[in-house]
A = this chain, B = another copy of it.
Amino acid sequence: MVRLVSVCASLTDDELVLLESLAHPTHFASGSTLFTQGREAHSVYNVTAGVVRLYKLLSDGRRQVVGFALPGDFLGLAMRDAYGFSADAIGEVSACAFSRGAYTALVDAKPHLLKRLHEFATHELTLAHEQMMLLGRRTAEEKLICFLLGMQQRWARLGKPSVTVPLPMTRQDIADFLGLTIETVSRTFTRLAKDKTILIVPGGVRVMNPERMSAVAA
C-alpha cells in the first residue's frame, strides 16, 4: 500500500502498521462516486492516485465544485453524521478507505495523529478563505489564472514540478469551481492563449508567462 505521506508523517512504525491494518485499499472507475452529499458518512478516504471532484448541488441543479482532491488528500474531515458534499472520480482513482468507527477510535487514541489532521483542516480552511476571495471579488481572467497557478503549485508539492499543468477535469468542472460558465472559461482560456500567457495542450495548459500570471494573482 502507498504510504499515507500527508497524514501519517509523524507516526511511529507500529502505529503505521496499525493504521494500514485499518485501511481498505479501494479502486474507483472513471466517473464513479466515492460518496454523496447528505448520505450517512460511513467512511473517510485518503486518495492515493488520481483526482477527485468535490461538489455541492442545489435542488435546481446548480453546482459548486468546492475542491479537487489530489493524491495525498484526505476526504471526510468536514463531515459529521452525513457527508457535506459529494465526491466522484475524475479518471481512475485509488484511495484508502477507513470506516468511520475505526477512524474515530484511532483519532481518540493517537493525539499526534489528531494534531496532524487538525493542521490539515486549518490548512483547508485557509484555502477556503482564499477561494471566497476569488469567488466574491475576482474577475474571470483572475479566477482562471489563480486556478492554474494553484494547480501548478499543488502538482509541484507532489513532486511533479512543471510548466505544463495537467487539467484532468472538464471545462464544466473548472467553471463550477470558479463560479463561471463553461463558455466564459473557454473564451478566457482562448484569450490567454492569444496573449501568449499560456499554451493550451492536450490534457492541460503550459504556463508561458508566469511573471504576468503571478502579477495578476497577487
Contact = CB atoms under 8 A, between A and B. Distances in A.
B64 A133 contact: yes
A194 interface: no
Nearest to A62: B137
Given A77-B122, A77-B125, A137-B179, 20 more contacts: A56-B132, A58-B137, A63-B137, A64-B137, A66-B129, A78-B125, A78-B129, A85-B129, A108-B115, A111-B114, A114-B114, A114-B115, A125-B125, A128-B128, A131-B132, A135-B136, A135-B179, A136-B176, A136-B178, A136-B179
How many residues of A sit at the interface, in one of the four size bands?
A: 35 or more
Contacts of A66: 129, 132-133
A35 to B, nearest CB: 14
A126 B78 contact: yes
Interface in A11-68: 56, 58-59, 62-64, 66
A105 interface: no
Contacts of A125: 77-78, 121, 124-125, 128
B77 A129 contact: no
A59 B136 contact: no
B114 A84 contact: no
A43 B95 CA distance: 38
Nearest to A125: B78
Given A122-B78, A129-B56, A129-B78, A64 B114 contact: no
A104 to B, nearest CB: 10
A120 to B, nearest CB: 9
B58 A133 contact: yes
Contacts of A178: 136
Contact of A84 (B59, B107, B126, B131): B126
A176 B136 CA distance: 8
A3 interface: no
A77 B121 CA distance: 9
A117 interface: yes
